[in-house]
Amino acid sequence: MLARFHLALHVVDLDRARTFYGGLLGCREGRSTETWVDFDFFGHQISLHLGNPVRSTLTGRVGDCWVPMPHFGVILLWDDWQLLANRLEQADLKFLIAPQLRFAGQPGEQSMMFFEDPFGNAIEIKGFKTIEGLFAT
């Protein structure tokens, strides 16, 4: 069974959320009201509600990187990851951790990038050559 996750986050401006998630990331908008909006986040549902976002800090150590905690994200196949990384770089998105290869030549080799939405919600996008690499040990 293929399961989908649902994540609800706070944002302070729904129009800016639409520009970022719908415009920049290319996520399809779903239902909405005057206080929240849903997006198809790469096949998963995120619900963005008006409120005060949780702040991330660089407290997670992965390899040689300190990564923002908490964060959320998605795993893409290599080519899709590269297309998104190129689009974000061309848009001059400010990265917390620029697109790069991590764990080269090791089990779990992956591309990754970290950035924040306009409200400080930290996002990680990973890329794997095959989905089997996700849990490789």
- The one-digit pLDDT tens for each residue of the chain (137 residues) are 678 999 999 999 999 999 999 999 999 999 999 999 999 999 999 999 999 999 999 999 988 889 999 999 999 999 999 999 999 999 999 999 999 999 999 988 999 999 999 999 999 999 999 888 888 88
For residue 1, what pLDDT is reported? Answer: 67
Between CA 58 and CA 14 the distance in angstroms is 26
What would the pLDDT profile of 17-36 be if each residue is shown by its tens digit?
A: 999 999 999 999 999 999 99
The DSSP-derived string for 8-64 is EEEES-HHHHIIIIIIIS-PEEEEE-SSEEEEEETTEEEEEEES-PPPPEEEEEETT
Between CA 52 and CA 32 the distance in angstroms is 18
